[in-house]
Structure 1
């Protein structure tokens, strides 16, 4: 699952590949936004953890990673 996190006052978004399902990512984001936690905490497929303060979240985009096509085939 590809997750993109927009952070206020940061020029780039955070992009990570997570092994979590859509529902699990949504639950973590909603808990952070409702004030149950002070940080949005997600772990990527390599075991690295991303922590973002909830007051700095701009947006969270959840979706399947796009597969890049390589070659000279027809469209």
Structure 2
């Protein structure tokens, strides 16, 4: 995946009012595979890495939902929004 693209991931955690949102350089397929492994019990933790290299760990048994967005292209420079 190119460096100027990131996948937005939103994670809902049971009994927590706010969702976790991060952008990752991992592909949508990689993220889906990691989530499936956590939900299948192959891992006790859902472990994802954001675009700055920070790890986000969520207990797999506490996952409410995981939303995986399409890669977004980053715009660089000045321009009208």
- TM-score, length-normalised on structure 2? 0.79
Gaps of 5+ in 1: 71-75
Q: Are positions 1:60 and 2:71 aligned together?
A: no
**Number of equivalences:** 69
How far residue 39 of structure 1 moved from its aligned partner, in angstroms, is 0.2
Alignment of 1:1-75 (within 5 A): 1-64=7-70, 65=72, 70=81
Q: Could you say what the CA RMSD is over the residues aligned between the two structures, in angstroms?
A: 1.7
How far residue 41 of structure 1 moved from its aligned partner, in angstroms, is 0.1
- TM-score, length-normalised on structure 1? 0.85
Task: Choose between structure 1 and 2: higher strand proportion.
Answer: 2
Deviations 1:40-70 (Å, cap 9, x if unpaired)? Answer: 00000011100000110000000035x8x83
Gaps of 5+ in 2: 1-6, 75-79
How far residue 18 of structure 1 moved from its aligned partner, in angstroms, is 0.3
